[in-house]
Amino acid sequence: MKVALLITCLTENFFPRAGVAAVKVLEHLGCEVHFPRDQTCCGQPMFNSGHHAHARDLAERTVRIFAPWEHVVTPSASCAAMVREHYPALLADDPALRAAAESLAHRTHEFASFLTRVLNFDPRAHGLRWDGAATYHPACHLRALAREGAPDATPALLRSIDGLRYTPLDRADQCCGFGGLFAVTYPDLSGAMARDKADAVRATGANALVCNDAGCAMNITGACRRAGRGEAPRTLSLAEVLAEALGLMPEPRASVGDENGSEAPQP
Amino acid sequence: MSSPAHPTGPVASAPAPGGDHLLEPPLPYRMAPRLARATKDIQLQQFVATATRLKDTKRIASFEATFGDRLGAVRDLAASIKQHTLDHLDHYLEQFIDNAQRAGAIVHYAADAAEARNICLRIARDTNSTLCVKSKSMVTEEIRLLPALEAAGVKTVETDLGEFILQLDGDAPSHIVTPMIHKDRTAVARAFVRELGAPYTEDPAQLTGIAREHLRGLYRRADLGITGANFLVASTGSVVVCTNEGNAGFCISGTRTHIVVAGIEKLIPGPEHLAVLLKLLARSSTAQPLTVYTTLITGPRKQHDPDGPDQGGVHIILLDNGRTDLLRRGGPGGAREILRCIRCGACLNACPVFRKAGGGHAYGAVYSGPIGAILTPSLKGLHNYPDLPHASSLCGACGDACPVCIDIPAHLIRLRAEMTGLGLPRGMRARKAVIALWTFLLKHPRLYRLAAATQRTILRALADDGPGAPDPMADRRWLSALPGPAAAWTQHRDFPTPPAADFRSWWTAHERARHGGRDS
Amino acid sequence: MTTRADFLARIRDALGRRAEGTPIPPPPTDIDTARTVPRSATDLPARFATAAAAVGMTVHRSGAADLESCLAAILRAAGARRVALALTPGMHRLAAESAARAAGADILPPPSSPGFEPHYDADASITDVAGAIAETGSLVIASGPHAPRAAFLVPPVHIAIVREDQILPDLADFFPTLAPDTLPASLVLITGPSKTADIEGILITGAHGPREVHAVLTA
């Protein structure tokens, strides 16, 4: 099965390990993973802030870039929701593009949902083992995906991993306060919401926070670290947990270490 | 209250007591000052959080127990009833007017708030009314009716317990359904001692009893009752009023004259539709199966009825006040959908921003919370309320809570887009330029990659040296203070810098190892 | 001054309609989607009793012969000295009058409009109902010559006599029956005693209306 990775800009730049883990898990499960190099951003920040002409341009190029693949998988819940919920309407002015957007909307999956709904991933068949106490923040955009009939698969997957002690977050479904530009235009509101989330994370006693959206992850991990004066649970995506539980991570240090100093743009 | 020269003049410009200022602030209204106070007031946030979270939890449980998997279908039905009525509102209004008149009610037409106030004042004058008892109603807050009546010499008393206390305190409601969520019992106790000469008690039952006796004294003397309406039933000409306390019953039936003020969006086609909407209204508000008193008023008392308002004593004021501007924009996602709102308050209770904002006062208008954030700018102008559509994380809790399926986040985004088109607000012009530049980079992958690498280098250089990590993908540094507008982030959170290694370099190596360099 | 014609013309314009009287599609009719009690339910008194108790009413079951003693017991327990009656002439009214006498309470004259006097002096009221709803535990009370609105609203204790055959399964069975020609001036669904939770969310009964509502189910 050919799968294209829509890594999304925040994941690529701030949580690259989540992208690596997604590739490794998908390949382990028999997918042929592709990474279209021209991809940048799905346009969600522009869309949410009301700059719809810009969002439309980015939607159009994303639709074109991902046209060739049967399935598109993203480790970011909000970007999956952006493509699935908003692309067709954004590109409605051009019938051909709209059709392409609708096609992409159907082919685009959030990572956990892809595993369970498309690959029929059965965690018990894989001897998963991950030692530690973890909790999980469900990104709000999973609400939109759940309304389409794709309920969040992550908690059940986490519970199925041997050695992983899963404690649900109190009021898990409450927003962490990220909201894109909201975090900097209403810092007091956003910060207060993030503090609540950090408190809930601390109350679980978990040493790992699982989160499948880079925006929420930046916000919550930053709030946890501020509240903990530099100490915070490790924040990672479901893909990373599974990659580690399958023995696919960590990556051999040397191979990545070689590129550690290479910060020049890649052609 | 001083007596103005022209009692029926533009009352909105009359000097208002302090409390009214909260809901009618100078325009354009900016949220920042009130938010700054509210986000520092931990006690206020706790009051609001306790009140809203409990109702939100109970609402969800009640719907689950009542409808289970059918909830979606019931909400869709309710939404379709309201939408159908709005789409044919001219038809249903005519039907309602004819039937209400046939039942003996007098129907009035108010294009705006001033006209609605003037009609009320004229009725009060024509009936020689001097004491008015009023039931809680958002629409009468919207037209600022109470100060107008008082200015015209009609003593007017809010009879809903919460509103009564707020009136005593010169305060304003902070929630559509439960107006006093921002106050605790000690504030009530002090107000009753100060304003009613009551003995000090913090016992809610005793406080309620004090208000009950005080208000009964007023009901016995009142000659005018004013209520809003929860629904107007076209096929019968009935007005539906829902309360739990029973106060509306005194205002409707215990005086000679009853005035109903109702927005035109309250119409529904027939009484059968109440069976759907009432099932959702009270559960959404307070997790009750039905409000305690669900009253259908169809005209004044009949010839042999022992009580109720006189012949000619029931007045229904139909209010537009900007609603046709919303009506004008039909179609999926259009502003007309917002008029489906049945004012249940579920979106306020579900909203984490509403909690952190310390309740409704931060919204600077009668309608607060998520619904207020879309309704207020739509009724009063985006330029007057430029912040409201932006003060949301778009988490979607409001839309999920709405019993008539108003996609509130989608309307917030639509309003943001309209503002961008209008170049609003001024402070956001810089943001517009930044977003244009950002988009330009994102449309040019090479520039994007260059910018990403530069960003990583700069952010890591700004950050304190981290402890390092054996895995460069996990070698993250942290910033506790960002410069410029980004400082807003680090007011409350640390900022994670990009790790030492980047994804594309890894992918290149991975591809090379896997396929000898096949590129996607 | 805005006239009816101005007002409606503006709305018609906003809706993009050319003329009045344009035919419109029928409104949604599938009300049963929201039904929670089947039309065929046979245990309506039990369902009503459960729902009414859940909203804070006290439910009594009484045979026709015990009605008077049942009412008298409630009046005595309430310490009622003055009772308001809102019942059409008939067996229930006779039972209520006898119960008031048995409990040693005076019967107040009906209120005289405008206002609710003398019901402010009542300690309790006894009313009949126009119907009841099993789904919600609601009493339906219609205004009429023998049914002042003050009776269910003003006295601190309200006793309603409900014949079991008056109980409808669901709101979806009740509202569609309402027609403009037969509607009373006031039709009220009462679902519990008067309540408020305005002070710190703490539930208090008897905010403005009755503190106690008794539903007496009788054959």
Residue A145 contacts residue B396 (beta carbons within 8 Å): no
Q: What is the mean pLDDT of residues B432-442?
A: 93
Return the DSSP state at C13.
H
Q: What is the mean pLDDT of residues C14-21?
A: 80
Q: How sure is the predictor about B448, in pLDDT bands with cuts at 50, 70 and 90?
A: very high
Token pair of B432, please? 């517009």
B510: closest CA of chain C, how far (Å): 56
CB atoms within 10 A of CB B255: 29
A251 pLDDT above the threshold of 70: no
Least reliable range by pLDDT among B375-389, C20-34, C121-135: C20-34
Q: What is the mean pLDDT of residues B243-252?
A: 95
- In this predicted model, what pLDDT tens digit does every residue of B188-226 receive, in sequence order? 999 999 999 999 999 999 999 999 999 999 999 999 999
Q: DSSP characters for A68-82? A: T-SEEEES-HHHHHI
**Least CA distance to B91: which residue of chain C?**
C21
Q: What is the mean pLDDT of residues A225-235?
A: 89
Q: What is the mean pLDDT of residues B162-166?
A: 95
The whole-angstrom separation of Cα A139 and Cα B288 is 30
Q: To the nearest whole number, what is the mean pLDDT of chain B? A: 92
Q: What is the mean pLDDT of residues C152-166?
A: 97
**Least CA distance to B309: which residue of chain C?**
C114
B429 and chain A: CB distance < 8 Å anywhere? no
What is the per-residue pLDDT for A260? Answer: 34
A267 pLDDT above the threshold of 60: no
Least reliable range by pLDDT among A146-150, B284-288, B361-365: A146-150
Q: What is the mean pLDDT of residues C75-91?
A: 96
Residue C58 contacts residue C124 (beta carbons within 8 Å): no
Least reliable range by pLDDT among B25-39, B58-72, B319-333, B420-434: B420-434
Contact A184 B486 (CB under 8 A): yes
A117: closest CA of chain B, how far (Å): 21
A:132-151 residues touching chain B, CB 8 A cutoff: 140-141, 143-144, 147
Contacts of A216 in chain B (CB under 8 A): none
Q: What is the mean pLDDT of residues C169-190?
A: 96
Nearest-CA neighbor of B327 among B316, B317, B340?
Answer: B340
Q: How many CA atoms lie within 13 A of C160 on its CB side?
A: 33
B11 pLDDT above the threshold of 60: no
Q: How sure is the predictor about B466, in pLDDT bands with cuts at 50, 70 and 90?
A: low
Which residue among B353, B415, B472 places its CB closest to the CB of A256? B472
Q: What is the mean pLDDT of residues A186-215?
A: 96
B:9-38 residues touching chain C, CB 8 A cutoff: none
C28 pLDDT above the threshold of 80: yes
What is the per-residue pLDDT for C114? Answer: 75
**Least CA distance to B265: which residue of chain C?**
C11
What is the per-residue pLDDT for A265? Answer: 35
Percentage of chain B beyond pLDDT 70 is: 93
Residue C133 contacts residue C48 (beta carbons within 8 Å): yes
Q: How sure is the predictor about A148, in pLDDT bands with cuts at 50, 70 and 90?
A: confident
What is the per-residue pLDDT for B426? Answer: 67
Contacts of C114 in chain B (CB under 8 A): 223, 254-256, 307, 309-310
What is the per-residue pLDDT for B425? Answer: 67
Q: How sure is the predictor about B468, in pLDDT bands with cuts at 50, 70 and 90?
A: low
Token pair of B328, please? 């004008």
Q: What is the mean pLDDT of residues B275-286?
A: 97
Query: Hey, is C177 helix, strand or coil?
Result: helix
A6 pLDDT above the threshold of 50: yes
Q: DSSP characters for B388-446? A: GGGS-----HHHHH-TT---HHHHHHHHHHHHHHHT-SGGGHHHHHHHHHHHHHHTSHH
Q: How sure is the predictor about B467, in pLDDT bands with cuts at 50, 70 and 90?
A: low
Q: What is the mean pLDDT of residues A97-126?
A: 95
Longest dimension (CA), chain C: 69
Name residues whose C-beta falls within 8 Å of residue B427's C-beta, 6 or more positions apart in sequence: none
Q: How sure is the predictor about A252, in pLDDT bands with cuts at 50, 70 and 90?
A: very low
What sign for the dihedral angle of Cα C80, C83, C86, C89? positive
Q: What b/e sequence results for C185-194 when a residue is b if at least 16 CB atoms lie within 10 Å of its CB, and e otherwise?
A: bbbbbbbbbb
Q: To the nearest whole number, what is the mean pLDDT of chain A? A: 90
- Sequence ranges of chain B with CATH classification 3.40.50.10420: 89-321
Q: What is the mean pLDDT of residues C86-106?
A: 96
> In terms of DSSP H, where are the helices of B127-160?
138-142, 145-151
CB atoms within 10 A of CB B285: 24
What is the per-residue pLDDT for B474? Answer: 82
What is the per-residue pLDDT for A266? Answer: 35
Q: What is the mean pLDDT of residues B148-176?
A: 95
AA identity, residue B117: R
Residue B482: phi and psi, rounded to 5, are: -100, 155
Q: How sure is the predictor about A263, in pLDDT bands with cuts at 50, 70 and 90?
A: very low
Q: How sure is the predictor about B514, in pLDDT bands with cuts at 50, 70 and 90?
A: confident
- B89-321 has which fold? Rossmann fold (3.40.50)
Least reliable range by pLDDT among A168-182, B300-314, B459-473, B477-491: B459-473
Q: How sure is the predictor about B1, in pLDDT bands with cuts at 50, 70 and 90?
A: very low
What is the per-residue pLDDT for B422? Answer: 83
What is the per-residue pLDDT for A257? Answer: 32
B:87-126 residues touching chain C, CB 8 A cutoff: 87-91, 93-94, 97, 99, 102-103, 107, 109-111, 115
Q: To the nearest whole number, what is the mean pLDDT of chain C? A: 95
B:42-81 residues touching chain C, CB 8 A cutoff: 47, 50-51, 54-55, 66-67, 70, 73-74, 77-78, 80-81
CB atoms within 10 A of CB C83: 27
Return the DSSP state at C83.
E
Contact C206 B208 (CB under 8 A): yes
Q: How sure is the predictor about C22, in pLDDT bands with cuts at 50, 70 and 90?
A: confident
- In this predicted model, what pLDDT tens digit does every residue of B379-425 receive, in sequence order? 999 999 999 999 999 999 999 999 999 999 999 999 999 998 887 76
What is the per-residue pLDDT for A146? Answer: 80
B258 pLDDT above the threshold of 60: yes
What is the per-residue pLDDT for A141? Answer: 87
What is the per-residue pLDDT for B18? Answer: 44
Q: How sure is the predictor about B457, in pLDDT bands with cuts at 50, 70 and 90?
A: very high
- C41-218 has which fold? Rossmann fold (3.40.50)
**Least CA distance to A16: which residue of chain B?**
B503
The whole-angstrom separation of Cα A10 and Cα B435 is 16
Q: DSSP characters for B353-402? A: HHHHTTSGGGG-SSS-HHHHHHHHHHHH-TTTSSSGGGS-----HHHHH-
Q: How sure is the predictor about B516, in pLDDT bands with cuts at 50, 70 and 90?
A: low
Contacts of A14 in chain B (CB under 8 A): 496, 498-499
